[in-house]
A = this chain, B = another copy of it.
Amino acid sequence: MFKYSRNNFFSIKKVYKANEISKLFVKILIKKRLTNNFDILDISSLKFIKKNSVLFLDQEINAPKNYTNNILFISDKETIFNNPKYNNIILIKNLNESWNLLINLIYSHEDSSDYTDEFIKYNNSYISKYAKIDASSKIYNNCVIGKGVEIGKNCIIKNNVVIKNSLIKNNVVICDNTSIGTTGFGFDFYKRGSSFLNPQIGIVILDDYVHLGSGCTIDRGKIDYTYIGKNSMIDNLVHIAHNVEIGENACIAAQTGISGSVIIGNNVTIGGQAGFAGHIKIGDNVVVAARSGVTKNITDNSVVAGFPATDIKEWKKNIIRNRKNGY
């Protein structure tokens, strides 16, 4: 989608070799099969597979052939481990635990105590020395713009806005007290607390002409990005979780919440106080009525309402029938 380097946001602490990684996992390692040894320079997702990277696998994939010699796979499923097509693979006991261990070893991020950034006062805001802001964009008072952030042309960043780990394209407007690029709520269900939250090393991308209201929270991606498409308009106090992707021309009213990894198509209209369960797909041109609770995929051009959200005509019929029957 957009080119960016993870290292601009999350400093790599040390370049490990594949065989060093397996040694670091000593406590949770079950077995390993290492055909090659190579530098680990990045983390791959299933969607973006990169050379010289680690890829955490909870399902089989078709890795591009030429990468098999320089990707280190990590899985907690023996069937995956046993598939000979993965030249370099480690079988561990717990995927979450190995993610936390490895990411904290390799990367410094804002939830780790060794994270650093350097700020300069610019107008009345604090801007990282390692951020790039086009001179045509305006930053009002008490904002914080972190390391690696890029802000394009003609943006207006109002007051008390926090932007970290994000690429902001052109003509974007962000209203007061909104937080962008903060830590996604990812965790192992059975191990809780601040030190067990999964480190999040992705970013937020806001495309051209996005408008964000006041008091919103947009979490960064876990590996890749949280994305809001061109011309999308978002009202106040909206929560958008990690890995969410929203297409072009979205219109999302106040206090709506979108859970992690939801994919939303183009031209979608969402009323206020709606909610979306995680990992679902909303098609193009969908309308979601205010206060809907969407729990399943929604096909293109649907209009839904209620909780669990269904076709709005069904929902209305239900209400009328209930009233007639004295229900």
- Chain A residues within CB distance 8 Å of chain B: 110-111, 113, 119, 121, 124, 126, 136, 138, 140-142, 144, 154, 156, 158-160, 162, 164, 171-173, 175-179, 182-183, 185, 187, 189, 192-197, 208-211, 213-217, 219, 230-233, 235-237, 239, 241, 249-251, 253-255, 257, 259, 269, 272-273, 275, 277, 290-291, 293, 307-308, 310, 317-319, 321-323, 326-327
Docked Cα-Cα span, A253 to B215, in Å, equals 17
Contacts A/B (CB < 8 Å), 26 sampled: A113-B138, A119-B124, A141-B144, A144-B176, A160-B160, A164-B176, A175-B179, A175-B182, A177-B179, A179-B215, A185-B236, A192-B233, A193-B209, A193-B211, A196-B231, A214-B219, A215-B217, A215-B239, A237-B237, A254-B257, A273-B273, A273-B275, A277-B290, A291-B307, A310-B323, A321-B327
Chain B residues with Cβ below 8 Å from A185 are 213, 233, 235-236, 253-254
Contact A177 B158, beta carbon cutoff 8 Å? no
| Known A124-B126, A214-B217, A277-B290; contact A160-B158, beta-carbon cutoff 8 A | no
Chain B residues with Cβ below 8 Å from A217 are 177, 213-215, 236-237, 254
Copies of the chain in the assembly: 3
Chain B residues with Cβ below 8 Å from A178 are 177
Chain B residues with Cβ below 8 Å from A158 are 110, 162, 182
Contact A275 B272, beta carbon cutoff 8 Å? yes
Apart from A111-B156, A171-B194, list 15 A-B contacts with CB within 8 A: A113-B136, A113-B154, A159-B162, A176-B182, A182-B213, A185-B236, A185-B253, A192-B249, A194-B209, A194-B233, A235-B239, A237-B257, A239-B254, A273-B273, A318-B322
Docked Cα-Cα span, A287 to B184, in Å, equals 21
Chain B residues with Cβ below 8 Å from A310 are 323
| Known A185-B253, A257-B272; contact A142-B160, beta-carbon cutoff 8 A | yes
Contact B171 A175, beta carbon cutoff 8 Å? no
Docked Cα-Cα span, A326 to B322, in Å, equals 11
Among A119, A126, A140: residue with most chain B CB under 10 A: A140
Q: Give A258 Cβ to nearest chain B Cβ, in Å.
A: 9
